[in-house]
Amino acid sequence: MVSSPHEAQHRIFQENPSLFTSAFRALGVPFPEPVAVSLMDTDLTEMRPVERHVDTLLRIDVVGGGCYLLAIEAQGRKDPEKRSSWAYYLAHLFAKFRYPPVLLVVCRDKATAEWAAEPIRIGLEKHPSLAVFPLVLGPHNVPVVTDAARAAEDIPMAVFSAITHGNDQDIAAILEALAVALRATDADAAAIFAEFTEAGLGDTPAREIWRNLMSTSLSHFRGIVAESFRDEGREEGREEGIAKERSLSVLRMLDRRGVDVSAAARERIGSCRELSTLDLWVDRAFTVKTTDELFDRG
């Protein structure tokens, strides 16, 4: 489903949009009670060849009839170019939709989080024409969830805690609490959360801790992670396992979103072993309304 920490950091909000309410509570930011959350097109391009894409964009309808746009950016390192991009995103979103935009930046290390939180002021030093104040989630303010009962109360936040604190000394306890919580939840949902966790941990020692947990205490999952672990070590089997992982991820996402999948389409997805095609379908599965859109070659 996801293949990198960058994807996991923002796409978990696509899979579980309600996570933003927990995130805002962690930031101490008051936010109107949401009544609906919709995934929106992330392409903010106006003129080519300049292309600008926000990582994840959500429309949040709130009590009272208003709505906000939540632009979520996963930032792995300091990047001066991003600051002007973020200002552009917010200005463009407001001009296009006329809804108040909010920028949320998620980071995996404290130094990047502190950099991302710095206000962006455009214009005269003493009289800026535009000012941006990003909301930032990182190891410095995301809760450390080491209690299994607490993790079970808000599994998306527990997963996000594990991803964000992947390099912390408490990561083993965080992962163990999450593993216990996932054992008590639906197997399909648990497999998806497990995938996000593994991808989000990236190339860190914590990933091996999680893999060990997955191969022992979580071995009852009938999810795709267990399949890929069994095939690991044999190149041909590993590639087959990865392809199966991707195809099952596509089908599960379409099913969870209520997209009608015919028997023929299900067979086409399940039998596909072209990784580049499957990766494209995984990305599209988050937003398409029909399988025709999924298979579109355009």
Distance CA 7, CA 73 (A): 10
Tens of pLDDT along 183-235? 888 777 788 888 888 888 888 899 889 988 877 655 555 444 444 444 444 44
Annotate 221-234 with b (16+ C-beta within 10 A) or e (fewer). bebbbbbbbebeee
H-type alpha helices, 117-259: 148-153, 155-164, 171-183, 187-201, 205-215, 224-231, 235-256
Residue 30 or residue 216, greater confidence:
30
> What is the pLDDT, as a whole number, of residue 136?
95
Helices and strands, number each (H, E), in the chain: 14, 7
Tens of pLDDT along 136-175? 999 999 999 999 999 999 999 999 999 999 988 889 999 9
Backbone angles phi, psi at 151, to 5 degrees: -65, -40
Per DSSP, the residues of 21-65 read: HHHHHHHT---PPEEEEEE---B---SSS---B-SEEEEEEETTS
Annotate 23-32 with b (16+ C-beta within 10 A) or e (fewer). bbeeeeeebe
Average pLDDT in the 267-285 region? 85
> In the structure encoding, which two tokens stand for residue 152, read together?
């079970």
* 64 has pLDDT over 90: no
Measured in whole angstroms, the distance separating CA 184 from the mean position of its chain's CA atoms is 22
Handedness of CA 268, 269, 272, 274 (dihedral sign): positive
> What is the pLDDT, as a whole number, of residue 12?
78
Burial class (CB in 10 A: 0-12, 13-18, 19+), 137: buried
Residue 213 or residue 239, greater confidence:
213
Residue 241 or residue 224, greater confidence:
241
